Amino acid sequence: MSNAFFKVPTPVNEPVLSYAPGTPEKATLKNWLARMQAEEIEVPLFIGGEEIKTGNVAEMRAPHDHSVKLGVYHKAGEKEVKLAIEAALDARSDWAAMPWEHRVSIFLKAADLLSGSWRPIINASTMLGQSKTVYQAEIDAACEICDFYRFNSHYMADIMADQPISSPGVWNRVEYRPLEGFIFAVSPFNFTSIGGNLPTAPAMVGNVVLWKPASSSVYSNWYVMQLLRAAGLPDGVINFVPGSGRQVGDPVMASPDLAGIHFTGSTAVFQSMWRSVGETIHEKKYYPRIVGETGGKDFIFAHPSADVDALAVAAMRGAFEYQGQKCSAASRLYVPRSIWPEFKEKYVAMVNEIKMGSPTDFTNFMTAVIDRGAYEDIKAYIEKAKADPGCEIITGGGCDDSVGFFIEPTTIVASDPKFVTMCEEIFGPVLSVYVYEDEDLAAATSLCDSTSPYALTGAIFAQDRYAIVEMAEALRDAAGNFYINDKPTGAVVGQQPFGGGRASGTNDKAGSATNLLRWMTVRTIKENMVPPTDWRYPFMGEA
Ligand code: NAD
């Protein structure tokens, strides 16, 4: 029972630590990296508070070094998925009835633990398992998870405070209930924070969840699950079920109790899940809420008035940080002919300075791509460009999988603006460039708008304010996150709510009130203080 209207502490973004030489955070992290690299772990499923080992295991290895085995994880099959659904449904009534401030306290505690002693563990596991540099791990795994937990707590309280008006003699109220059934949270490999957010946003507002992490990020995601346990998350609220997509996904989709899907990953997988829900809708108890953030083909569009130095840095960082494996990564660039020579010179010089290697060596700016499948896919796109007479490769182009899955930062200049690498999501360190004629600005923005089915992130660079207005208007629907004179990556919770439209997703903006509302179902309550006791209306009399 709550006897007060509690105020959630006003959130502030978790400060990003520098890891500069001599800092205590660097020393602690280096210790954890050495320790974790030397130890192999066995990751179980976690269902209803029980650690379950199925014996059907897969290896976890560092993408940047085939010789570094981090351990094995157990995979769920149909039997374990059914067990997890039961465990979630068993936990539902107690969890939904828990006073909201106690639910929130668990996530605020998780954020505080992560801000302190858990920080190096979550960061080191992300660096080793997903090959992120320390800075990329810090902004993702440590800071963004803290931000999700603190900001979502605040947004939830704001939502609940939103109440209808009442007329005389009546008190109208709305309550924000969790959904009945369970939520299926399916996370991608590329952000530990997405794994940290997809199951917890629905859970915070009272839902119970099955969480399927991506196979290539089970290592760090298991530590996130442990963090939530350490913060006091009750058993059965979030059930951790790693495994192959179909083996976990199919029995979940078949369940009549599926109340929602919280997905981030590729467009093809999301569309297949949506299709399964559609095909079985007549067997479902509820209309599942389907929330998905999916692929992108994110652009930078430069105007002749662009600051060329700023454009070069944005293109380089936007395209190659985390090896281009961000859904928001710049992967196509439109540059006007007039500034192309100056841009090319500065940009190529910068990219050629990039050092690539293990994330445990802090001097590296880039490391390896996530796994063999990604390596082969990205390499195939580069080979296509090499074989096409209409393409010129001005940086990189080399791939080497002898030690780890390394792909050089590659820039393709395409004479055909519809060349395959200008249109399709590659999800690796490949930037495709189209040089347009200055006088064709309107046609070039229209081309940028219509070249891909996606609409996730996009950036424009210009100093001429009329040009900014014109380009922002022309590209209004081309991106859910739009940047003016900045790279299209690096959205921060509470500052740039993230998500895209068209084939990029349902645009429910992770880490925002919009997203939390999808996991709530409103009950409207009208209480009549003095109900009528005569059935006849006054108009029924005759004077
Ligand atoms: P993916 O689609 O291969 O996998 C995502 C998740 O879906 C994984 O957990 C995977 O195991 C699971 N999965 C696959 N098939 C399934 C099935 N049939 N049923 C249930 N689950 C299934 O994506 P990925 O390679 O992990 O991540 C890269 C993709 O994610 C890119 O397309 C990228 O653009 C996208 N992404 C988008 C955003 C965004 O906010 N829009 C953020 C991060 C990543």
**pLDDT tens readout for residues 29-65:** 999 999 999 999 999 999 999 999 999 999 999 999 9
Distance 319 CA to ligand 1 centre (A): 20
Question: Which architecture, in CATH terms, is 24-59+69-294+505-526?
Answer: 3-Layer(aba) Sandwich (3.40)
Beta partners for residue 483, in sequence order: 459
What is the DSSP code string of 161-208?
H------TTEEEEEEEEEPSSEEEEE--SS-HHHHHHTTHHHHHTT--
- SS3 assignment, position 109: helix
Ligand 1 pocket member 187 (CB < 6 A) = yes
Joined together, the tokens standing for residue 262 give: 């919280």
Q: What is the pLDDT of residue 296?
A: 97
- SS3 assignment, position 430: strand
Q: Which residue lies with its CA nearest to atom 17 of ligand 1?
A: 245
**Backbone φ/ψ region at 283: left (φ over 0), alpha (ψ -120 to 50), beta:** alpha
> 282-286: long-range contacts (C-beta < 8 A, 24 or more apart)?
283/256, 284/256, 284/258, 285/180, 285/181, 285/256, 285/257, 286/179, 286/180, 286/181, 286/258, 286/259
Q: Whose CA is closest to 298, among 330, 334, 272, 324? A: 330
Atom of ligand 1 nearest to the CA of 270: 2
The reply to whether 298-484 shares the fold of 24-59+69-294+505-526 is: no
Average pLDDT over residues 323-352: 98
- SS3 assignment, position 223: helix
Split at pLDDT 50, 70, 90, the class of 463 is very high
Q: What is the pLDDT of residues 127-175, one digit of tens each?
A: 999 999 999 999 999 999 999 999 999 999 999 999 999 999 999 999 9
CA distance 230 to 15: 22
Joined together, the tokens standing for residue 133 give: 């540099």
CA distance 162 to 176: 10
DSSP single-letter state for residue 55: S
Atom of ligand 1 nearest to the CA of 184: 20
The question of whether 327 is a catalytic residue gets the answer yes
- Going 160 to 161 to 162 to 168, the CA torsion angle's sign is positive
Q: Whose CA is closest to 374, among 416, 325, 339? A: 325
Q: How far, CA to CA in Å, does 405 sit from each of 320, 427, 465? A: 15, 14, 43
Q: What is the pLDDT of residue 543?
A: 75
Atom of ligand 1 nearest to the CA of 267: 32
**75, 130, 190: residue to mutate for ligand 1 pocket, most atoms within 8 A of CB:** 190
Percent helix, percent strand, percent coil in the chain, to nearest 5: 40, 20, 35
* The dihedral formed by the CA atoms of 512, 49, 195 and 254, expressed in degrees to the nearest 10: -90
Q: CATH 3.40.309.10: does it fit domain 298-484? A: yes
Ligand 1 pocket member 243 (CB < 6 A) = no
For 535, other C-beta atoms within 10 Å of its C-beta total 6
Show Cβ contacts of residue 159 under 8 Å, excluding neighbours closer than 6 positions.
Answer: 176, 513, 516, 517, 520
Ligand 1 pocket member 246 (CB < 6 A) = yes
Q: Give pTM, 2 decimals.
A: 0.97
Split at pLDDT 50, 70, 90, the class of 330 is very high
* Res. 479: pLDDT tops 90: yes
CA distance 36 to 219: 11
Split at pLDDT 50, 70, 90, the class of 70 is very high
* Res. 324: pLDDT tops 80: yes
Joined together, the tokens standing for residue 527 give: 């209480």
Q: Which residue lies with its CA nearest to atom 23 of ligand 1?
A: 265
Which residue among 80, 138, 144, 293 is the active-site one? 293
Distance 347 CA to ligand 1 centre (A): 31
CA distance 169 to 137: 56
Ligand 1 pocket member 489 (CB < 6 A) = no
Q: Express as a percent the part of the chain with pLDDT over 90.
A: 99
Ligand 1 pocket member 212 (CB < 6 A) = yes
* Res. 225: pLDDT tops 80: yes
Which residue among 327, 391, 399, 448 is the active-site one? 327
- Going 96 to 98 to 104 to 106, the CA torsion angle's sign is negative
DSSP single-letter state for residue 143: I
Average pLDDT over residues 235-262: 98
Distance 269 CA to ligand 1 centre (A): 7
Distance 187 CA to ligand 1 centre (A): 6
Q: What is the pLDDT of residue 501?
A: 96
Q: Where are the domains of the chain?
A: 24-59+69-294+505-526, 298-484
Q: Whose CA is closest to 233, among 121, 104, 122? A: 104
What is the DSSP code string of 253-292?
HH-TTEEEEEEES-HHHHHHHHHHHHHTGGG-SS--EEEE
Atom of ligand 1 nearest to the CA of 246: 18
CB 443 within 8 A of CB 273: no
Ligand 1 pocket member 370 (CB < 6 A) = no
Q: What is the radius of gyration, based on Cα positions, of the chain?
A: 25
For 71, other C-beta atoms within 10 Å of its C-beta total 18
Q: Which residue lies with its CA nearest to atom 28 of ligand 1?
A: 265
Average model confidence (pLDDT) for the chain?
Answer: 98
Q: What is the pLDDT of residue 2?
A: 80
Atom of ligand 1 nearest to the CA of 213: 9
* Res. 1: pLDDT tops 80: no
CA distance 245 to 250: 8
Ligand 1 pocket member 92 (CB < 6 A) = no
